[in-house]
């Protein structure tokens, strides 16, 4: 979903958006850098969620692109 920086918008994204909205959660992802990188392609699949009262405490959210993770998922830092 574009809500968390993904270019893809499908039924799974819409379901997750509904779930997030029903619980009054905030997506703190910024930008469109992929959080998952595989030979088949890249995507933004890792989402940082907070309550409204904590959202302001998440600042400088970023995907760490040049740090080895031993996984196809990149680290997120804030």
Angstrom distance (rounded) from CA 59 to CA 57: 6
pLDDT at position 49, please?
98
Give SS3 for 41. Answer: strand
pLDDT at position 56, please?
93
Query: If we measure between CA atoms, which residue out of 18, 25, 23 comes closest to residue 50?
Result: 25
pLDDT in tens, the chain (78 residues): 999 999 889 999 999 999 999 999 999 999 999 999 999 999 999 999 999 999 999 999 999 999 999 999 999 999
DSSP E strands in the chain: the ranges are 25-27, 36-38, 41-43, 49-51, 62-64, 75-77
pLDDT at position 34, please?
97
pLDDT at position 44, please?
96
| Helices then strands, each counted (H, E), the chain | 2, 6
pTM of the predicted model over 0.85: yes
């Amino acid at each position: 979903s574009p809500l968390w920086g993904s270019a893809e918008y499908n039924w799974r994204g819409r379901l997750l958006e509904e779930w997030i909205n029903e619980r009054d959660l905030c997506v703190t992802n910024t930008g469109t850098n992929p959080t998952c990188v595989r030979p088949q392609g890249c995507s933004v699949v890792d989402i940082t969620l907070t309550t409204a009262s904590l959202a302001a405490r998440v600042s400088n959210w970023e995907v760490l692109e040049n740090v080895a993770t031993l996984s196809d998922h990149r680290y997120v830092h804030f």
